Amino acid sequence: MFNIDDLSIIYPENLWLEFSALEQEKIWYKTVINRFKNIDNYHGGFVNFVCLNAFVKWLEDEPDLQEKFYIPPLSQDLHFNRWEFVNGIELTFNQNRIVLIPSEQGDISEFRIPQEWVDIPDWAANYYLAVQLNIEENWQRIWGFISYEQVNQKAKYDSIDRTYCLNNRDLTADINIMWVAQELCMLEKPQVKPLPSLSEAKAQEIIKQLSKPTVYSPRLDINFTEWGAILASDEYRQILYNRRIQNLQNQQLMDPTGKVVQKLNLWFENVFNEGWQSVDDFLSLTNTTAFQFRSDSVLNEVCVKGAKLIDLGMQLENTSVVLLIGLSPQIDNKVGIRVQLYPAFGENYLPASIKLTLVSKSGKSLQYVESRSYDNYIQLKRFKLPLGKFFSIQVGFKDINIKENFVLESFAYSEI
């Protein structure tokens, strides 16, 4: 394994930038999880933001370059409502347009540019910069650049994912050459074939079609000319972005039996339903102090806790228990989940032989724990799930099985 100092010696022509794990966490918790709505670009937005943040910090140490750059403030939605749909970062240097294309691929034999950055007239750039990120090792590498004219001459178009593909030999490795070239002459705006205009009715029809929440970007769902026309319009792009958010919040998921599936991402917005409540609201409404989870050191580390009263029926003389789930987002695009079961209404112990089970979408038991006499609570081993994963938690006693279904979509607007 080489560290960044070794790599910068081996490849001195590339620009090597470092960032800290703390910076990553700040980006993940305070910004990224509040902005992105589809699972595909949830992590993609994070990668773009880390890339941009590292580049801006580097510019702070390069005052001669910094004063010639214009980067839209991150408080604006320009970056975010683009990253929701497509990968890439637009910058302006000496009135020339530059686009950074970040990737976590270890293999840099190929550079892929999304079609939007080439064939939308107002998005096309004078230069495209290839950026390799290593999130685990906290560095990024700008390993080459290529001009718009060279993209048109040398790139091969991949219709499957709508990207322009270039061999790494087609790129210039030393970006200092680009800075010097732009100092010497002002480049003309790339000449791109105009996209057909859309009528208002057609635009609204497309937006309605693409507004359905999905775990992926809708960029491949319609032909490029219509997609490009929607994305090129700041107004239409923002409407589409907002509609997808709204529909995501309103959409109610059902399992095959018709039971509601809890969308755990909404818990971060303090939105609970189907008997679930935040732990604080639950304790307040039930007026009980029997729950240990208010002071549980493990659960105090999680961001969100939801609780539900589970009625076990007549076989346990109408005994109820409390099912608690704690969520903690991780920077690896997963969420840590803690599941516990407690006695309710002043009881000190759970009834013996109650089983708590983690069940997969296919119905397979992944892990379980069973209560013994004098158990104050039982819990499953902490597990992590990626966004978009369905799972169930089952509380069982003899022939009684009560199942709660969950899915973790992209997070909503939460401040965590």
Asked if 127 and 166 touch (Cβ cutoff 8 Å), the reply is: no
Burial call 301-322: b when 16+ CB within 10 Å, e when fewer: ebbbbbbbbbebeeebeebebb
Q: Which residue has the higher pLDDT, 164 or 318?
A: 164
Query: What is the band of 163 on the pLDDT scale with cuts at 50, 70, 90?
Result: very high
How far apart CA 138 and CA 140 sit, in angstroms, is: 7
Q: What is the C-alpha separation between 322 and 343, in angstroms, rounded?
A: 6
Q: Strands (DSSP E) along 160-252, which ranges?
A: 163-167
Task: Determine the straight-line distance between the first and last CA of the chain, rounded to whole angstroms.
Answer: 35
Amino acid at 113: I
Q: What CA–CA distance (Å, rounded) separates 154 from 165? A: 9
Helices (H) then strands (E): counts for the chain:
12, 21
pLDDT at position 133 over 50: yes
Please report the sign of the dihedral spanned by the C-alpha atoms of residue 102, residue 104, residue 106, residue 107: negative
Mean pLDDT, range 205-228, rounded to an integer: 88
Residue whose C-alpha is closest to residue 333's, from 24, 42, 88? 42
- Which DSSP letter does residue 38 get? S
pLDDT score recorded for residue 161 = 93
Closest residue by Cα to residue 397 from 358, 362, 351: 351
Max mean pLDDT among 51-60, 87-96, 137-146, 269-278 falls in 137-146
- In the predicted model, what is the mean pLDDT of residues 150-179? 94
What pLDDT score does 84 carry? 84
Q: Which residues pair with 305 in a beta bridge?
A: 326
- pLDDT-derived band at 122, boundaries 50, 70, 90: very high
Q: Looking at residue 29, what is its pLDDT?
A: 55
Going by their DSSP bridges, the two strands 96-103 and 163-167 should be labelled as unpaired
- At position 381, the amino acid (one-letter code) is K
Nearest to 208 by CA among 234, 244, 235, 238: 244
In 72-207, which ranges are E strands?
A: 89-93, 96-103, 110-114, 127-134, 139-147, 156-158, 163-167
- Reported as a single tens digit per residue, the pLDDT across 266-300 is 888 777 878 888 888 787 665 554 455 544 545 55
Q: How far apart are CA 131 and CA 126, in angstroms?
A: 16
Q: What is the pLDDT of residues 374-388, one digit of tens each?
A: 999 999 999 988 877
DSSP 95: T
382: alpha, beta or left, given left = phi > 0 and alpha = psi -120 to 50? beta
Cβ-based neighbour number of residue 268 at 10 Å: 20
Query: What's the rounded Cα separation, in Å, for the pair 131 and 123?
Result: 18
pTM beyond cutoff 0.85: no
Burial of 362 (0-12, 13-18, 19+ CB in 10 A): exposed
Per-residue confidence band for 415, with pLDDT thresholds at 50, 70 and 90? very low
Confidence of residue 393 (pLDDT cuts 50, 70, 90): very high
Calculate mean pLDDT across residues 56-60: 89
Tokens at 3, concatenated: 């560290």
Pairwise CA distance, residues 270 & 329, whole Å:
15
Q: Which residue has the higher pLDDT, 40 or 144?
A: 144
Report pLDDT for 64: 81
* Mean pLDDT (the chain, rounded): 83
Summarize pLDDT for 221-271 with one digit per residue, the tens: 999 999 999 999 999 999 998 888 777 666 655 555 656 778 888 888 777
pLDDT of residue 110: 95
Helices (H), 61-115: 63-66, 78-83
H or E element at residue 103? strand 96-103
CA separation for the pair 282, 352 (Å, rounded): 24
* Mean pLDDT of the 114-128 span: 96
Residue-level pLDDT at 416: 38
3-state SS, residue 110:
strand
Give me the phi and psi of 41, to 5 degrees please: -95, 0
pLDDT mean over 301-329: 80
Q: 39 pLDDT band (50/70/90 cuts)? A: very low
Q: Higher-confidence residue: 18 or 298?
A: 18
CA distances from 326 to 29, 30, 288 (A): 17, 19, 19
pLDDT of 127:
95
CA atoms within 13 A on the CB side of 46: 28
* Percent of the chain residues topping a pLDDT of 70: 82
From CA 129, how far away is CA 101, in angstroms rounded?
Answer: 6
